[in-house]
Amino acid sequence: MKKTFFILAVIALCVPPLRAADEATVRVFVVKYKRVEEAALLVRPLLSGSASVTLTQKLNAMTVTDRPERLDQIGKVIAAFDVPPRGFSFAVKLVRARADVPAGSIAPEIGGLATKLKSLFQFNDYALIDSAVLRGTEGAIVRQQLGTEYRLSFAVLSSAGSNELLLSGFTLSRLVSAGPGQPGLMRPLFHTSVPVMLSQTLVLGVSKEEASKSALILILLAEEVPRPGEEKGAAGAKAAEKRP
């Protein structure tokens, strides 16, 4: 019996003690700008086998129990994911072009684009209907009245870090009369999705047919603007930690 006891004691002494890094830690991540369900999909492949995740949708928060080194890695992934939506400005000009009039002068507001318009279209006269600078963020819908009878609307879609935007549901509508005593109706002139490169001027011509004597020309320039709080280095997800 003494010999057996001695062997068991030696085996017990050979087992390495638990390291602090192996101890389970609980950390709560509060997601500010994105949906916590989306963040959870990114986190799951990073978890160890004994980890657990609990989502609190009301707080848009995630509670993760895992080893500290895993939690540190998860924190970095969520911080890179949970950033404010990108913001953009859209300088828009709506121009009426006509071919059934003598060659006229181009309005000063269009002057810088005169050469490009003449190379793209065969019209004699270009008159500015309206211009505006619109603001929008990725995922948002932008709407703007242009002149007294036109309306532009689109949704802003982008990829992280990409210089290309997709203006989905890009629609130019015109106010038309519904009859005496009836309010006017907005009738779409065209409806499509338009890819746009940042800092590059986009020119769209709209006419009833290719040989039309008149057309509408939409000129658009998209630029990225700083994210809200970006100048101050605002962080995304915040985390609180405790040991069970």
CATH of the domain at 63: 3.30.1370.120
Same domain, 122 and 194: yes
Residue 243 lies in a domain: no
The answer to whether residue 200 is domain-embedded is yes
Residue 4 lies in a domain: no
Asked which of 83, 111, 134 is the last residue of a domain, the reply is: 83
Assigned domain for 220 exists: yes
Q: How many residues does the chain have?
A: 244
Residue that terminates a domain, selected from 52, 83, 114: 83
Burial (CB count <10 Å: 0-12, 13-18, 19+), residue 20 = exposed
pLDDT of residue 232: 47
In this prediction the pTM is 0.67
Amino acid at 207: S
Q: Are residues 170 and 75 in the same domain?
A: no
Q: Pick the last residue of a domain from 45, 64, 83.
A: 83
Do residue 103 and residue 52 come from a single domain?
no
Q: Domain for residue 128, yes or no?
A: yes
91 and 79 fall within a common domain: no
Number of structural domains, the chain? 2
Three-class secondary structure assignment of the chain: CHHHHHHHHHHHHHCCCCCHHHCCEEEEEECCCCCHHHHHHHHHHHCCCCCEEEEECCCCEEEEEECHHHHHHHHHHHHHHCCCCCEEEEEEEEEEEECCCCCCCCCCCCHHHHHHHHHHCCCCEEEEEEEEEEEEECCCEEEEEECCCEEEEEEEEECCCCCEEEEEEEEEEEEECCCCCCCCEEEEEEEEEEEEECCCEEEEEECCCCCCCEEEEEEEEEEEECCCCHHHCCCCCEEEEECC
Whether residue 102 is found in the same domain as residue 120: yes
| 77 and 101, same domain (yes or no) | no
Per-residue pLDDT of the chain (244 residues; tens, 9 = 90+): 444 444 333 333 333 443 554 678 999 999 998 899 999 999 999 999 889 999 999 999 999 999 999 999 999 999 999 988 889 999 999 998 888 777 666 666 666 676 677 777 778 778 889 999 999 998 899 999 999 999 999 999 987 668 999 999 999 999 987 667 677 788 999 899 999 999 999 988 877 655 568 889 899 999 998 765 555 444 445 555 444 4
Residue 209 confidence (pLDDT): 52
The answer to whether residues 106 and 123 belong to one domain is yes
Residues 6+ apart with CB under 8 A from 89: 133, 134, 135, 222, 223, 225
Identify whether 58 is part of a domain. yes
Please tell me the distance from the alpha carbon of residue 137 to that of residue 232, in angstroms, as a whole number.
19
Residue 72: give the domain boundaries: 19-83
**Cα–Cα separations (whole angstroms), residue 24 to 4, 28, 144, 199:** 35, 13, 54, 49
**Is 26 inside any structural domain?**
yes
- Shared domain for 92 and 79, answered yes or no, is no
Measured distance CA(113)–CA(106) in Å, rounded:
9
Looking at the fold, whether 117 and 68 belong to one and the same domain comes out as no
Shared-domain flag, residues 114 and 197: yes
Q: Are residues 93 and 62 in the same domain?
A: no
Which tokens sit at 137? 């963020």
Taking every pair of Cα atoms in the chain, the longest distance, rounded to a whole number of angstroms, is 117
Report if residue 170 sits inside a domain: yes
Q: Quick one: 56 and 177 in the same domain?
A: no
